[in-house]
Amino acid sequence: MPERIEWLEDGTAGGSPYSPRFGDRYRSELGGLEQAREVFLKGCGLPQAWAGQPQWCVLETGFGLGLNFLVTWQAWKADPLRPRLLHFVSLEAYPASADDVLRSARTHPELIPFAEQLKRQLCGLLPGFHRLVFEGGQLLLTLCIGDAKAMLREPSFEADSVYLDGFSPQRNPDIWDVHTFKAVARCCRRGTRVATWTVARSVRDALAQCGFVVHKVPGTPPKRDNLQGEYQPAWELKKSRIAPERKAPARCIVVGAGLAGAAVAASLARRGWQVTVLDAAGTPAAGASGLPAGVLAPHVSPDDSLLSRLSRSGIRAMLQQADALLQMNIDWSPTGVLEHCVEHARQLPAAWQEPDGLATAASDWTRPATPAQLAACSLPPGTPALWHVQGGWIKPARLVRAWLASPGVSWRGNAAVSQWVRHGAAWQALDAAGHELACAELVVLAAGYGSRALSEIAGQPGGRPLALQAIRGQASWGRHAPDAEPAQAMPAFPVNGHGSLAPRVPLEPGLAWVTGSTFERDNTSTTLRPEDEQHNFGKLKTLLPAAAQALAAQFESGQAQGWAGVRCATPSRLPSLGRLEGRPDMWVCSGMGSRGLTFAALCAELLAARLHGEPLPVEQRQADALLPQYAAHAPAAVD
Ligand SMILES: Cc1cc2nc3c(=O)[nH]c(=O)nc-3n(C[C@H](O)[C@H](O)[C@H](O)COP(=O)(O)OP(=O)(O)OC[C@H]3O[C@@H](n4cnc5c(N)ncnc54)[C@H](O)[C@@H]3O)c2cc1C
């Protein structure tokens, strides 16, 4: 359930929001807008403090109805000297509904356009981190849903400004206590400015105890005083706490022009890097990312496993990118996906079923399929199936091209990297003849299974290769006219659960279907095999018998076509993302397995965040689970 809010009459367009949980109003007597500007922005010296900076990071202890975020966004947008990237990290234990957030902004008409954009992304706020993206990726809101102290346990970033907000210390003492401020202090550098509207003695004492030097400043009537200060502890900061690396943008070589490499290139270019993407092939997306169309759907598990949570973060990131860069219903479509649980009914986490708990947020992601959705698939009522609301299909190659077209990215084909040479602070990429392909201060290996060989030629200390495995896959596809029988026997949305079917993908002229796929470990061959077509047909018969029947003629007459590619997987079945052991400025972003569409955009943002010491789009321990794994020895994949 979203947090319950009562709207009290106060003569304004939206009314005054009141929290029955805390017995307190969301806004001060000053009004939300004035408080945001006077207390928080001005209190932290903004916008002057961020002028000319490449990046800025605001940390807020209570998101509430998002007013401070909206006002900061508005100030950033209006400022010609704004930082290139603004991070806003906000903690919230009890998220309000998207409708209440918009209603709260109605009192301030100039904020409505911002609030409407915010509303569109406020869904599925289960506990954990949620990265919302605005302004072409230059304004990043990380909503941390849960207990503030737990959320800040392992911060990865340094905040430049801190807004301490929340219900009054009498009503919600937890958010103002020394433990919360200790957690906040862990995210501060010496000089981080802090501001709040309360001057309560207990708050000042707790802040002082945690290293903040604060003083009262005159408020705007009727408010007498506000509090401002800086993080200036009297003690030396522990070395581990000082400055995560904030790498200055320079040149970068990305090897691999598939989903992983193109996404990294776009994320780095947004931060000011000059990126050269090299690929052995003559066209972009010539590897696994050349799949005609892929299915995007979250993973679910009864214990809401790491993979399940990461898949939701990945899908949120991918849908944002598709929405911003692709043509809906031509290059992609957020149709939703039906998961036919072929072997047995899938259990959802127990907490997702509690009406007063997470049921509403969870149902933004996944819910039991309805009889109408089953009927659209010609599956009998009662068939165990889930409906993934945030699912759909995407043509990966379209997205790769869109990412490669980002300002700051240049792409070079027929450029197979065979050798690395270190030149001072830069890496030189050479081809087989020893000619330079590119030279840069940073390298990202995003070459699918090829990343393993590329890391080996970089001379891994200890000689341990990356633990990456090649998995050959063949998909089947064909065309159908929109009014032809096969198209009518199929649902308008993809189905997965035992292989998958993307039934109606526009492909000039007409519509196409894509189904599959085979799964063969340690095989790097992309030669098409007729027996794999039959394997895919067999899988489809189990997944969607009616669709298989409608396509039988195409499979039997040899009209069904094949497409083969090589996936790259890791032992953990999670992507491999991080700096290579002992290799300065060489990173890997690979191991997307069967979920390149789920993980590519998230991994790219995670890589950029780690590189710059920015807030991460996922919790630290989730990010750490993706750190590169190494193999003890190196059996080669064969054709
Ligand atoms: C049959 C099949 C079906 C799939 N279905 C889905 C699906 O429905 N949904 C989904 O999310 N995912 C799906 N996937 C997985 C998805 O396609 C991959 O996860 C994703 O494309 C991987 O992207 P990538 O950029 O890591 O690798 P790739 O797209 O393989 O790109 C790697 C690139 O590196 C280049 N390269 C390699 N070595 C070098 C070198 N030395 N020098 C220069 N360039 C080099 C290659 O030429 C290649 O272009 C499927 C995969 C297959 C095979």
Predicted pLDDT at 26: 82
Report the separation in Å between the CA atom of 594 and the middle of ligand 1, taken as the mean of its atom positions.
9
Question: Nearest C-alpha to atom 16 of ligand 1 is from which residue?
Answer: 596
| Residue 184: CB atoms within 10 Å | 25
Mean pLDDT, rounded, for 559-572: 96
| Residue 147: CB atoms within 10 Å | 16
Query: What CA–CA distances, in Å, run from 611 to 314, 407, 584, 587?
Result: 19, 20, 12, 10
Q: Which of 452, 597, 598, 599 to mutate to test the pocket of ligand 1 (most atoms within 8 A of CB)?
A: 597
| Residue 574: CB atoms within 10 Å | 23
Residue with tokens 């904020």: 111
E strand or H helix that includes residue 555? helix 545-556
Distance between CA 68 and CA 77 in Å, rounded?
14
Mean pLDDT, rounded, for 174-190: 93
* Strands of the 586-590 sheet, one edge to the other: 409-412, 274-278, 251-255, 442-445, 586-590, 576-579
Q: How is residue 97 annotated by DSSP?
A: P
Closest ligand 1 atom to 563 CA: 1
Angle at 277 between CA 251 and CA 307, to 5 degrees: 100
**SS3 for 179-213, per residue?**
HHHHHHHCCEEEEEEEEECCCCHHHHHHHHHCCEE
Average pLDDT, the chain: 93
Question: Is 617 strand, coil or helix?
Answer: coil
Distance between CA 111 and CA 75 in Å, rounded?
11
Distance between CA 50 and CA 138 in Å, rounded?
14
How does strand 409-412 pair with strand 274-278?
A: parallel
Report the separation in Å between the CA atom of 255 and the middle of ligand 1, taken as the mean of its atom positions.
12
Q: Is pLDDT above 50 for 31?
A: yes
Q: Which of 279, 311, 577 to mutate to test the pocket of ligand 1 (most atoms within 8 A of CB)?
A: 279
Distance between CA 620 and CA 625 in Å, rounded?
9
Structure-block tokens of residue 439:
């030279």
Q: Is pLDDT above 90 for 168?
A: no
Distance between CA 638 and CA 523 in Å, rounded?
5
Structure-block tokens of residue 355:
């009406």
Model confidence pLDDT, tens digit, residues 197-226: 999 999 999 999 999 999 999 987 777 899
Q: Higher confidence at residue 360 or residue 27?
A: 360
Mean pLDDT, rounded, for 574-602: 95
Mean pLDDT, rounded, for 603-627: 95
Distance between CA 126 and CA 204 in Å, rounded?
33
Q: Is pLDDT above 80 for 246?
A: no
Report the separation in Å between the CA atom of 440 and the middle of ligand 1, taken as the mean of its atom positions.
24
CATH ID of 293-394+470-569, from 2.40.30.10, 3.20.110.20, 3.30.9.10, 3.40.50.20: 3.30.9.10
Question: Nearest C-alpha to atom 36 of ligand 1 is from which residue?
Answer: 447
Query: What CA–CA distances, in Å, run from 16 to 4, 7, 27, 101?
Result: 13, 5, 7, 12
Report the separation in Å between the CA atom of 287 and the middle of ligand 1, taken as the mean of its atom positions.
5
CATH number of 251-286+411-468+572-593+610-624: 3.50.50.60
Contact residues for 545 (Cβ-Cβ < 8 A; gap 6+): 378
Q: Which of 277, 289, 469, 561 to mutate to test the pocket of ligand 1 (most atoms within 8 A of CB)?
A: 289
Structure-block tokens of residue 68:
């401070």
Predicted pLDDT at 76: 98
Model confidence pLDDT, tens digit, residues 118-149: 999 999 999 999 999 999 999 999 999 999 88
Q: Higher confidence at residue 330 or residue 3?
A: 330
Contact residues for 292 (Cβ-Cβ < 8 A; gap 6+): 395, 475, 477, 505, 507, 512, 514, 563
Report the separation in Å between the CA atom of 151 and the middle of ligand 1, taken as the mean of its atom positions.
34
What percent of the chain lies above the pLDDT cut of 70?
Answer: 95
Structure-block tokens of residue 432:
């087989």
Report the separation in Å between the CA atom of 396 and the middle of ligand 1, taken as the mean of its atom positions.
10
Q: What does residue 436 show for φ and ψ, rounded to 5 degrees?
A: -70, 130
Report the separation in Å between the CA atom of 405 and the middle of ligand 1, taken as the mean of its atom positions.
19
Predicted pLDDT at 437: 98
- Sequence ranges of the domains in the chain: 6-241, 251-286+411-468+572-593+610-624, 293-394+470-569
| Residue 221: CB atoms within 10 Å | 8
Model confidence pLDDT, tens digit, residues 512-554: 999 999 999 999 999 999 999 999 999 999 999 999 999 999 9
Closest ligand 1 atom to 261 CA: 25
E strand or H helix that includes residue 422? strand 419-423
Closest ligand 1 atom to 597 CA: 11
Model confidence pLDDT, tens digit, residues 455-492: 998 876 666 889 999 999 999 999 986 666 667 778 99
pLDDT classification of 371: cutoffs 50, 70, 90: very high
Report the separation in Å between the CA atom of 392 and the middle of ligand 1, taken as the mean of its atom positions.
19
CB 104 within 8 Å of CB 32: yes
Which residue in 341, 324, 340 sits closest to 332, CA to CA? 324
Residue with tokens 């800086």: 230
Predicted pLDDT at 483: 67
Predicted pLDDT at 241: 53
Contact residues for 555 (Cβ-Cβ < 8 A; gap 6+): 476, 533, 534, 537
Ligand 1 interacting residues, C-beta cut-off 6 A: 255-261, 278-281, 286-289, 291, 294-295, 396, 416-417, 446-448, 450, 454, 473-475, 500, 516-517, 565, 567-568, 590, 592-598
Which residue in 433, 423, 404, 454 sits closest to 265, CA to CA? 404
Q: What does residue 605 show for φ and ψ, rounded to 5 degrees?
A: -70, -35
Backbone Cα Rg of the chain = 26
pLDDT classification of 167: cutoffs 50, 70, 90: confident
Q: How far apart are the first and last CA of the chain?
A: 53
Question: Is 461 strand, coil or helix?
Answer: helix
Report the separation in Å between the CA atom of 634 and the middle of ligand 1, taken as the mean of its atom positions.
21
Closest ligand 1 atom to 565 CA: 53
- Architecture category of domain 6-241 in CATH: 3-Layer(aba) Sandwich (3.40)
Closest ligand 1 atom to 258 CA: 25
The amino acid occupying position 59 is L
Q: Is pLDDT above 90 for 389?
A: yes
Is-cis flag, bond preceding 47, omega within 30?
A: yes
Residue with tokens 């401070």: 68
Distance between CA 243 and CA 157 in Å, rounded?
8
Q: Which of 254, 259, 474 to mutate to test the pocket of ligand 1 (most atoms within 8 A of CB)?
A: 259
Predicted pLDDT at 191: 96
pLDDT classification of 631: cutoffs 50, 70, 90: confident
Predicted pLDDT at 231: 97
Predicted pLDDT at 632: 78
Question: Nearest C-alpha to atom 32 of ligand 1 is from which residue?
Answer: 447
Distance between CA 18 and CA 119 in Å, rounded?
20
Report the separation in Å between the CA atom of 289 and the middle of ligand 1, taken as the mean of its atom positions.
4
Mean pLDDT, rounded, for 219-248: 80
Question: Is 290 strand, coil or helix?
Answer: helix
pLDDT classification of 242: cutoffs 50, 70, 90: very low
Distance between CA 297 and CA 495 in Å, rounded?
10
Contact residues for 437 (Cβ-Cβ < 8 A; gap 6+): 253, 278, 412, 415, 417, 429, 430, 431
Closest ligand 1 atom to 259 CA: 25
Predicted pLDDT at 637: 58
Residue with tokens 């000011």: 272
pLDDT classification of 32: cutoffs 50, 70, 90: confident
Mean pLDDT, rounded, for 398-421: 98
Question: Nearest C-alpha to atom 14 of ligand 1 is from which residue?
Answer: 594
Predicted pLDDT at 463: 66
Residue with tokens 């899988």: 539
Predicted pLDDT at 247: 77
Q: Is pLDDT above 50 for 383?
A: yes
Structure-block tokens of residue 117:
């954009």
Predicted pLDDT at 535: 97
51-89 residues labelled b (16+ CB within 10 A) or e (exposed): eeeebbbbbbbbbbbbbbbbbbbbbbeeeeebbebbbbb
